[in-house]
Amino acid sequence: MLQQQPLTGSGPPNGRGLAVSGHPGMHALGPAHPPSQRRSDGGEAGLEGTENGHEPRRDIGDILQQIMTITDQSLDEAQAKKHALNCHRMKPALFSVLCEIKEKTGLSMRNNQEEEPQDPQLVRLDNMLLAEGVAGPEKGGGAAAAVSAATSSGGMSPDSSLEHSDYKSKLSQIRGIYHTELEKYEQACTEFTTHVMNLLREQSRTRPVTPREIERMVGIIHRKFSSIQTQLKQSTCEAVMILRSRFLDARRKRRNFSKQATEGLNQYFYSHLSNPYPSEEAKEELAKQCGITVSQVSNWFGNKRIRYKKNIGKFQEEANLYAMKTALGASHGDDSPHTPNSTGSGSFSMSGSADLFLGAPPVNGEQSAYQMGLQSNGNWPSRPSPRPGASPDTDHSDNSD
């Protein structure tokens, strides 16, 4: 690796080191000796080197030798040596030799897949994070938008604000973590890149380092870091997906309604047995009273109607019970704790209605004709056509019986 090299005292990178950038012209410098095999042991002079009567090779061997051992020395020593090396008269020659070697080896590694094909998976992750409001340009708008999108698309009623805020806070938590991590990575990446570039610059004094090489190195670093980022993105996506599915799939955390809520709903149901189709306003009122949403009220009535109809006998007791309660509540006026009309809004009043008497306890039980509002075909008088606005129903309508 490229660790604690001279980086320390070597001061700001400057023209000297960067002279390399002119490397292509290096050939001009030297006589371009073929890079004949040098002996790493720097061995005795002699041998082929002396043939020419010159000793450039020996000099180069010396320099190489010194370079090889420079890291073993103390910092000061190394600095001094480095300086000496830089000024060595044979340095240009060595440089040119290295240039040539490089020329040959460089070609081979040139064609490695330089351009990464912009990973499609990464694009997908990015898009998703953006859509979820996790990535996006800074703050809240994104997250809020994502939440509202999620709720509306999921058919969630807008009044489940509790879960809503829960979701929101969890999402922004994820968002926060994601951004901190991302920033951390980016910072580390730049730091590391600068570090490496400094090193390369430093090294470029003694060996040829092309800008392209630096670029390549930077590219490698960036790729490494971006693969880490991809992992981060991936796990963030996963977290969001889990959160989302939990939030949207309410079935998974079904809670039974509170006793009080069920009471209120049943109260209404049995006191309107002949026509158990609460108007929109009535639903809203019930929802408010029971602490549930309007769509939950609708669900409840849907379920109740169908289940009641399917097995009237089973609900007999319950019907009697609520008929009694309602009767009591009506006769005592407002002192019943459960009477919904005590809310005073009066949009639906349960005051002793005709239905109540339909439901009068038959005492001897049995389903008999005691079908409370159901017609002989087992249906309620008529499937309530979507009636606009006015509620002719409530109580007075069914006194026709």
C-beta closer to DNA: residue 148 or 210: 148
Shortest approach of DNA to residue 371 CB, angstroms? 14
Contact 306, 360 (CB under 8 A): no
Q: Does 308 bind DNA (CB under 7 A)?
A: no
- 283: tokens are 């639903």
24, 140, 313, 384: residue in contact with DNA (rule CB under 7 A): 384
Specify the amino acid at residue 120: P
Taking the CB of residue 41, how many other CB atoms lie within 10 A of it?
8
What is the maximum alpha-carbon separation in the chain?
Answer: 132
Shortest approach of DNA to residue 173 CB, angstroms? 23
Shortest approach of DNA to residue 315 CB, angstroms? 9
C-beta closer to DNA: residue 178 or 301: 301
Q: Does 245 bind DNA (CB under 7 A)?
A: no
Question: What is the C-alpha separation between 396 and 351, in angstroms, rounded?
Answer: 11
Q: Does 107 bind DNA (CB under 7 A)?
A: no
C-beta closer to DNA: residue 173 or 245: 245
Q: Does 89 bind DNA (CB under 7 A)?
A: no
Binding-site size for DNA (CB under 7 A) equals: 28
Map the footprint of DNA across residues 64-83, applying CB under 7 A. Answer: none
Question: What is the C-alpha separation between 71 and 1, in angstroms, rounded?
Answer: 13
For 236-291, the DSSP string reads: HHHHHHHHHHHHH-GGGG--PPPHHHHHHHHHHHHHTTTS----HHHHHHHHHHHT
37, 153, 256, 364: residue in contact with DNA (rule CB under 7 A): 256
1, 255, 344, 369: residue in contact with DNA (rule CB under 7 A): 255
Site stretch for DNA (CB under 7 A), options 4-12, 57-65, 137-145, 383-391: 383-391
Question: What is the C-alpha separation between 371 and 316, in angstroms, rounded?
Answer: 10
- In angstroms, what CA-CA distances link 8 with 12, 21, 103? 10, 22, 30
Map the footprint of DNA across residues 32-71, applying CB under 7 A. Answer: none
Contact 32, 100 (CB under 8 A): yes
Q: Does 380 bind DNA (CB under 7 A)?
A: yes
- 391: tokens are 């509620």
For 187-244, the DSSP string reads: HHHHHHHHHHHHHHHHHTTTS---HHHHHHHHHHHHHHHHHHHHHHHHHHHHHHHHHH
Taking the CB of residue 314, how many other CB atoms lie within 10 A of it?
12
Taking the CB of residue 323, how many other CB atoms lie within 10 A of it?
21
What mask of x and - would describe binding to DNA in positions 270 to 299, judged by CB under 7 A? -------x-----------------xx-xx
Map the footprint of DNA across residues 140-179, applying CB under 7 A. Answer: 155
C-beta closer to DNA: residue 77 or 317: 317
Site stretch for DNA (CB under 7 A), options 95-103, 182-190, 342-350, 379-387: 379-387
Shortest approach of DNA to residue 141 CB, angstroms? 27
Shortest approach of DNA to residue 309 CB, angstroms? 6
Site stretch for DNA (CB under 7 A), options 99-107, 144-152, 220-228, 382-390: 382-390
Contact 36, 48 (CB under 8 A): yes
Q: Does 392 bind DNA (CB under 7 A)?
A: no
Contact 261, 343 (CB under 8 A): no
Site stretch for DNA (CB under 7 A), options 194-202, 204-212, 250-258, 344-352: 250-258
At what angle are helices 294-310 and 259-271 packed, to 10 degrees?
60
Q: Does 306 bind DNA (CB under 7 A)?
A: yes
C-beta closer to DNA: residue 96 or 279: 279
Return residues touching DNA (CB under 7 A): 155, 249-257, 262, 277, 295-296, 298-300, 302-303, 305-307, 309, 314, 380, 383-384, 386
